[in-house]
Amino acid sequence: MAGRLIYVVRHGRSEGAGTLLGQCDVDLTPEGMAQAEALAGRVRGVERVVSSDLRRAAQTAERIALRAGVAVELDARLREISYGAWDGRPWQPGVEPAESLEAFQARVGEAWQEICAGTARVTVVVAHQGVNAVILGDLGQSQEYGTAKRVEIP
């Protein structure tokens, strides 16, 4: 199917922002909820919404899905990289993820391939900074909370 569009969304601002949240399961802040609502009003023609199963992403996805009249598909492979015992703690120099970068990229890549194989004309994928960097191939780049980047699938 030609001419498909995927929006790659970073969840809205969440509790604990500025720490190594990793796989901590925290809620959106009121600001994050407002970001999700605003984004839901900007994306059009959404037929499918896929999200990390962590609350901050799922809450963002729920706002978009509700506006679009579709269900949210939760996928644990779209979780942020795990920092293990450091999840939820302030960043410190030298902290390494508990999950290897290779394993992280493999699980995200597998989920992304399945999403791209879908038939929806417009799909929204809601995930996290690191996940979206893997998907978009821009490790080291930043994506603001509650924003979307467009990916066109031929």
CA 93 centroid distance within chain: 25
> Which pair of tokens denotes residue 2?
């030609």
Residue with the two structure tokens 């508990």 = 98
| Catalytic residue flag (residue 80) | yes
What residues contact 10, with CB distance under 8 A and at least 6 apart? 126, 127, 128, 129, 132, 143, 144, 145, 146, 147, 148
> Which pair of tokens denotes residue 123?
């799909």
Q: Which amino acid is at 151?
A: V
DSSP 72: E
Q: Which residue is catalytic, options 62, 80, 99, 128?
A: 80
CB neighbourhood size of 126 (10 A): 34
Phi, psi of 34 (to 5 degrees): -65, -40
| Catalytic residue flag (residue 11) | yes
Q: Which residue is catalytic, options 11, 62, 99, 128?
A: 11
Could you list the active site residues? Answer: 11, 80
